[in-house]
Amino acid sequence: MEVAGTDGSGPSFTLPSHWLWWEDGAHDGATNMATDEALRALARPDVAVWRWYSWARPTVSFGRHERVLGRFSTERLAASGLDAVRRPTGGRALLHARELTYSVTLALPTNLPWTAAYDAINRVLLDALLAMGVPVTRASGAAAVPPDGPVCFDQPANGELVVHGQKLVGSAVWRRGDAYLQHGSILLHDDQALLADAETQPPPPAAALATLFPGRRDSDLQRDALDATAAVLQRFATVAPFVVPPDWPSRLASHHRHFADPEWLWRR
């Protein structure tokens, strides 16, 4: 699949023709972030990994460069029943509760901007959600949102997926050299207002799959989203199960120490 830039004039990017598919389970925040970072470090040309996962407890994730000191605190988060982790990627705070989280790791040539891969992956998600019957579109014309701006689901950025102007999928990215990571949240329910208990004010409503498909069980919506995404990938690529490499425990442990470190969490 080849996708042009968000405005139709940017450089195009062809997604890899081989994908490894991982339906992972629920983990704590540090483990989830360590896993995504370990996968990014494994990125190689022509093979990408698509991982789906969830969270052992409701968890707020902060963006890599987001300033949260004075907005959040360990005490307020604990009183709200929330864990916290800082992502390796950019973006702003969001609550992982009743939602579905994905990550994609791949090799992105250094002569291409990160937006080339971002647009291509969002196109896969767009096509999958459309196949489910979701009236989703891509946001355009949005003003740039600084990392210290509102929480993630407060307003969409260009290229993000929205339903009637309300964000349904919030995504964030990070690249180092030619290794690229994109991960994000597809809301099953709009729980983002719970951040008001841990911060200062509730965000406006977001879109959610459970609202669009009343009466459908969360497990069925999750299965539909996974199957629809796999079907889109299979249009242009081979898809095989991801197999954890033999040295995975040591790879994961080194990243886990970083994401579990309070100095990383409260660095800004």
Per residue, the 3-state secondary structure of 62-83, as one string, reads ECCCCCCECCECHHHHHHCCCE
Q: How far apart are CA 128 and CA 231, in angstroms?
A: 8
| Domain around 21 | 2-265
Work out the angle at residue 178's Cα, subtended by the Cα atoms of residues 242 and 148, and round it to the nearest 5 degrees.
Answer: 95
Query: How sure is the predictor about 22, in pLDDT bands with cuts at 50, 70 and 90?
Result: very high
Active site residue 53: no
For 85-105, write each residue's pLDDT tens digit. 999 999 889 999 999 999 999
> Kind of pairing, strands 238-241 and 179-187?
unpaired
DSSP single-letter state for residue 130:
H
pLDDT at 4: 47
For 37-95, write each residue's pLDDT tens digit. 999 999 989 899 999 999 999 999 999 999 998 888 888 898 889 999 999 999 889 99
Ranked by mean pLDDT, which of 197-201, 202-206, 228-232 comes out on top?
228-232
pLDDT at 6: 47
CA 110 to chain centre: 22
Catalytic residue among 34, 106, 107, 152: 152
CATH of the domain at 129: 3.30.930.10
Q: How far apart are CA 127 and CA 48, in angstroms?
A: 18
pLDDT at 253: 96
Please count the structural domains in the chain: 1
Tokens of residue 7, six digits: 């405005």
